[in-house]
Chain A
Amino acid sequence: MKKNTQNLTVEKNMEDESNDNSIALRVENLTKIYNTSAGRVVALDNASFSIKKGEFVSIVGPSGSGKSTILNLVGALDRPSSGKIFIDEVDIFSLTDSEIATMRNRSIGFIFQSFNLINRTTVHKNVKLPGIIAGMSNDVADYRAMKILEALDIAGKAKQKPVNLSGGQQQRVAIARSLINNPTILLADEPTGNLDTKTGDDVFAMMKNLSHKFKRTIVMVTHNPELAESTDRSIYLRDGRIEKDVVN
């Protein structure tokens, strides 16, 4: 009975944004300048945009256009030179380092190009780790992790170590990990970049399914124009500035 209730909670959490049109992410006049030995580099110049809950947005641009910089700033992995970022209407850079860590844990799910899984431990433990950090009980974290792995069709690999999995399977594990705390927004940095075309398409289809069926808010950095056109909206960057913002 308890498990059934938890099951319903997981499903509900995954769908709870289906009828919500509010803003998940708001970026205001965001600028990032790096002072390097080669001089002052403006990586991002006064960028502003908003993303609604449930939107699947791609950030596209050539190398050095500032797309990864945006993702790092939105993910609070780095601090901007100026400008603000609001997630769920909270100015994330007004928070302390500890509060930012908590926000990263509960409101943001990261999907990296190179998966960044912890290879010494199992797939199951990798997925439940953000839940453990969030203070979830071991039973609940175990249950949620298994349910998400089942939903992403990788539950059979739960006891294996990530290093023994294919690239596509590892990326599914990374997606599962990003979902465990039911975050406001998923940030994906070239999620198909390390995968072959077929596997990349499968992973992208999975993300699209998450967006359309479960209304997850996803921001994906890519340099692949075909993938970008398959998202709801594409923000094109060039030389740190937003060149265009297109609804696909």
Chain B
Amino acid sequence: MNPKDIFLLAFEALVDRKVRTVLTILMVVLGSSLVVILNGLSAGQAAFLEQQFNTLAANVLFVGSGQRSFSSFATSTSNSLIINNVVLAKIKSLPNVSDAIPEYTGSVQMNVEGNTQRASITSIDPSKLVVELPNLQYVDGSTIKPGDRSSAIVGDTIVNPPGASTPFLTLGETIKATATYSDSSGSHTVVKNFVITGILKPSGNAGIDRSVIINLDAGNELLHKLNRYDQIIVAATTPDDVDTVQGELTSTFGKTLGATTPKALMAVRVQAASGNNAFILMVGIIALVVGAVGIVTTLYNSVTERIREIGTMKAIGAQNTEILALFIVEAALIGIIGASLGTIIGIVGGYILSIFTTTSPAGGGPPIHIPPIFVPMDLIKVWLLSLFLSVLAGMYPAWKASKLSPMVALRRE
């Protein structure tokens, strides 16, 4: 028999058992689409993380009070130092430090002509923003003048929130920012108006893109920080000095101040992401293996049901290898159809799922949508893996069928 005849016979056998074939294909579809979705989402996340850190200058360190946590910018409060102008001056005086830029951070409720939105506040000397983000550019307007307490710059995501058809605000508009804080006397609200003087181009850094940037003094008032900085961005003289500066900070302040670099943050996040990826990939592969077990069951039942047919085929001269090929081609067809549909459904599912998994940032602001990334080579690998597992699953039933004695097979009722 030539390959075309074997293919046609195998195809007819699958069509003859439509429901079972469809259910088996469905198992492969589920497995492969799951792997495709998970792969796409993790690739999207990895690219997002990389983009975030690539926007940061290579020579900066982020210094906060207490032991710095790598998983977020949160800090441990035990043994922590209040970061004020004394600490700032001391940091500035350290060798290999070219600049130290204090920052207040928080979140506010924004109101523009009746429309509201939560946003992060980054309160910093606007002229020093380029130290942290060297590639910062403006769509419209320009930076805030030093000492101007009533102007603000906004990131792209604030202006164009995901899913919105019209901009949330435009240059020159006034926003009403409402911040709340608590102290021993209770909860208080601070309201301040800001005129938008600059709109940033999308920077790729989600933290900046969803921020309202205001002057340091304005932030101190709005967020009621009482001259206690949340963070100091320390610029080393050159990127090569970063480790030295980090060592100096540790030896000067011990564990009362924590410092980390974008490179270290990136490494930890990538490590966490890859561990996560390995886990979700494992889940996908388990789903594929379950699909393969389905193929074994289907083809094994098929061999049992078609035992007389196999006997007849052998009686009319079919070789063992041809019977083997028939069943393997059936398994391969299930694999090809299942893997192809699974890949398509996985891609579509990945995009749909990424919409549903859009997250709101902890510090407030518009939700972050991380689109999946489907690398063609990864898709090919998943497709081949699905096909390989399907064929592997078909091996045993096919071998069993090929080894049947024709006389025993013909006698079977």
Contacts and interface: CB of A to CB of B under 8 A. Distances in A.
A133 B322 contact: yes
Contacts of A236: none
A150 B341 CA distance: 45
A101 B320 contact: yes
B324 to A, nearest CB: 12
A104 B5 contact: no
B119 to A, nearest CB: 66
B317 A105 contact: yes
Contacts of B319: 98, 101-102
Given A78-B407, A101-B317, A133 B1 contact: yes
A135 B322 CA distance: 12
Interface in B1-31: 1-2, 5, 12-13, 15-16
Contact of B406 (A77, A132, A133): A77
Interface stretch (B39-47, B181-189, B306-314, B376-384): B306-314
Interface in B66-85: none
Interface string B315-331: 11111111000000000
Interface in A89-114: 97-98, 101-106, 110, 112
Contact of A133 (B12, B308, B309, B317): B317
A172 interface: no
A6 to B, nearest CB: 20
A81 to B, nearest CB: 14
A134 interface: yes
A112 B409 CA distance: 13
Given A101-B319, A104-B317, A121 B12 contact: yes
Contacts of A129: 313, 316
B178 to A, nearest CB: 73
10 contacts: A101-B314, A101-B318, A105-B318, A106-B317, A112-B315, A116-B315, A120-B12, A133-B322, A134-B317, A135-B1
Interface of A: 72, 75, 77-78, 97-98, 101-106, 110, 112, 116-118, 120-121, 129-130, 132-135, 177, 181
